[in-house]
Chain A
């Protein structure tokens, strides 16, 4: 009852200074909008990064030889040994370097009139690469690289989606021939577009890695991924991989190779995103504090402008507590209104961002509630000092102010 009339009074006071009220509110609006937008966008991006990382398979490790003087790379035979280890699903070596592609009109019907030459990334992989890494994309045309292609070092190639579009538009060139460093390679397939973290295949031309080693002299792969059968036994499998590495490298010092568990990479990424999110939230909180100081400033001005009014209200029987409440309510109305607008804008911003960046927008009511609670707290916190000043005002001095 009494509360209601106080709120009504505060609203009419705020309306009387609508412009000032709005500008003051703007600080809170900006603060809450940025907090909410950053948290929702950040959460959305983090979620999709995790999604994609674990979609790639968290259950794998990357083995890399750093000291190629000790051992330049792994042979086909050695890779087969890794693949046969207990608990290993398969291994995926990857070679990559740029080479000249030549499209001859008599060998293939590309977009170009005459001979077209272009430097593109050539990736050497095995059949396991396709079964593991591109499983969610699949083939647009033709087939992927088979175990036989790897074993017999066939001169075949698969086009990445972007490369295919840039060379052929919409035409399916299966069976036609493209020259890589003057070697004829038969196009056996076109990959669907890869989405997610590792999209390097899209712009590449992909050949059996054995062909890459022998025909294109790309060197032995010094790095490959080991995929575990189940992520639960990662530690044991990594120990076996480590043993084999050590013996293959003749127990050279431990720095000459590394085994990185992707689970750890995922953890690291999470730590980093948490850190970045925390920093952004910190900045947003600073914005909100600035907004709060704006409220405090405006309320201090209001209190001194309304000195006579405060004196009169006291003369008419307002207790200090009532005066305190009145000014506190004004501050809280500003911050809470700002908070509500900020939550709406923040959610709107993160929805738009989700469309632009391409993560899935989720509305988290707890975040919204927290943001509102936060803005309420800002109003109370920064409204308290001016309100106390009003409450403590001496009624005679205050009345004399007219």
Chain B
């Protein structure tokens, strides 16, 4: 696609979970590159390891083996503190269940990452307001999350993900809790953000949602496939 160096580069990533004495391998040597400015969907069935992959990309978790390079930085061996900084500066998260703090207003939720970025309060307010405007919720700034619809809550969550101006937006089933029309609105926002230059990696098990992306990769039982590889797999050709 592009000759630029990838912004996200995974090489032979493995991850297994310990359950008592047993090891459950979840990711089996995943190699995955995302160029800056791409909008990639990771599509796969439940339990295939999508969230596990996203946690690793989002520096919420560390792989058992393999190398992960984020921009120019090798993530392996970073301290917890450094990982927290990466999450704060470089990555915006959007979750299936929105994950807004229930007792504080929309704008205060949006301001949260800026507290951890040690931005002064006046600037926090201004920047959070700008992000709320961007997702069309400036008039709901003082509403509590429960005073917002699901779609509005997810837009607040997107504003929060964007407020530190990260290069990457990571979304795990961002439309999973929304109806199709509202989900499509969210996808519109993702597309326009992507056009502004933000790299988007979105995880979903929904083909229709995945198709909003410029590229789709497939994950099955902890292995990653390109569209062509996936369609070549026995019995999957029809579905793809």
Contacts and interface: CB of A to CB of B under 8 A. Distances in A.
Contacts of A317: 84-85, 87-89, 113, 116-117, 164
A137 interface: no
A136 B160 CA distance: 79
A343 B232 CA distance: 77
Interface stretch (A24-32, A85-93, A210-218, A319-327): A319-327
B80 A319 contact: yes
Contact of A399 (B84, B88, B95): B95
A312 interface: yes
A396 B85 CA distance: 16
A316 B88 contact: yes
Contacts of A73: none
Interface in B146-175: 160, 164
Interface in A219-239: none
A258 B11 CA distance: 96
Nearest to A320: B80
Interface in A377-402: 395-396, 399, 402
Contacts of A16: 103
Given A317-B88, A317-B116, A320-B80, A309 B101 contact: yes
Contacts, number: 64
B31 interface: no
A153 interface: no
B93 interface: yes
A2 interface: yes
B81 interface: yes
Contacts of B99: 308, 312, 315, 399, 402
A60 interface: no
Interface residues of B, number: 28
Interface of A is mostly: helix
Nearest to B120: A1
Contact of A402 (B84, B97, B117): B97
Interface size class of A (residues with CB under 8 A): 20 to 34
B162 to A, nearest CB: 12
Contact of B87 (A6, A316, A320): A316
B61 interface: yes
23 contacts: A1-B118, A1-B121, A2-B118, A5-B121, A12-B104, A308-B99, A314-B60, A314-B84, A315-B58, A315-B87, A315-B93, A315-B99, A316-B93, A316-B113, A317-B116, A318-B116, A319-B84, A320-B84, A321-B81, A396-B55, A396-B60, A399-B95, A402-B97
What are the 4 A-B residue pairs with the smallest beta carbon separation, nearest first? A317-B88, A317-B116, A319-B84, A316-B113
Given A1-B120, A314-B84, A315-B60, 13 more contacts: A2-B115, A5-B121, A12-B104, A314-B60, A316-B113, A317-B84, A317-B85, A317-B89, A318-B84, A318-B116, A319-B81, A320-B84, A399-B60
Interface of A: 1-2, 5-6, 12-13, 16, 308-309, 312-322, 395-396, 399, 402
